[in-house]
Every structure is written in structure tokens, then in C-alpha cells.
Amino acid sequence: MVVEMRYFTGPESPPSEKGYIATIERWYVKLYIEADLRFQGRFLVESREFGTGLVAVAPYDTDGFRSPDWVGFQFDSGDPEARAYPGLPGVWSGVPYDFVAGGAGLQIPGLPDEVVGCLSAT
């Protein structure tokens, strides 16, 4: 059951000089599965010239764009096994990092300042 969905566009984070990633399409989706309330959460999906995918997940009962609620997962070919994480729905593979503040070798936030307001009052 989709509770809320927002669509917005904005620049890459960090800013890029590559023209093909100058504008990123993004969707915020808050949802739950009626038949299994263990699966509920908030999700950020991005679409770029070279692909579309989920970039971060946050617990259902959180709001806005705050650290440490939003978790991203950096791909790790040496450890592709998906795992469950407390507070997050489903299972996830990769190295978890703070999508708001950066981490896992990334020193940048997952969203640029220009679009953070798109997640206010979520």
C-alpha cells in the first residue's frame, strides 16, 4: 500500500560537470504491505541516464531527511549476501552507510541541498 509518493528532479550529489547526469529524477515512496506489516518503509529511487534503482531506505516511522534514518548500501562484490538490518524492511546487500551525512568512504550527502526540502513533512 503506497501511503505517499513524491517525484522531484535535481542535480547530482556531489555536483557533476558531466552533462548526462546534470539532472537526476527521484521518487520518494512510503509504503507497507498490508498482508505483512513487517515490511514497511520509506524509499528513495533515482533514475539516471545509465540506470534506475533504489538508493536509500529509512524506517517507516521516521520523517524528513535526517541522519541516521536514511541508509544507503555501497556495492561490495566480495560480499554480495543480503542481510536484514534492524528497523529496515527486507534484506540488503552491500556496505551500509549514512545516506544523509555520507560514509563508507563517501564524504558527501546522498541528496544535494537543492532537493532536501522535497522530503520535508514526509
User: Can you tell me the distance from the alpha carbon of 77 to that of 58, in angstroms, rounded to the nearest whole number?
Assistant: 24
Residue with cell 566480495: 78
pLDDT band of residue 101 (cuts 50, 70, 90) is: confident
pTM (two decimals): 0.86
Determine what percent of the chain is predicted with pLDDT higher than 70.
88
User: Can you tell me the distance from the alpha carbon of 73 to that of 97, in angstroms, rounded to the nearest whole number?
Assistant: 6
Does the structure show a pLDDT above 90 at 107?
Answer: no
Q: What is the mean pLDDT of the chain?
A: 87
**Mean pLDDT, to the nearest integer, of 23-48?**
93
Neighbours of 44 (CB within 10 A): 21
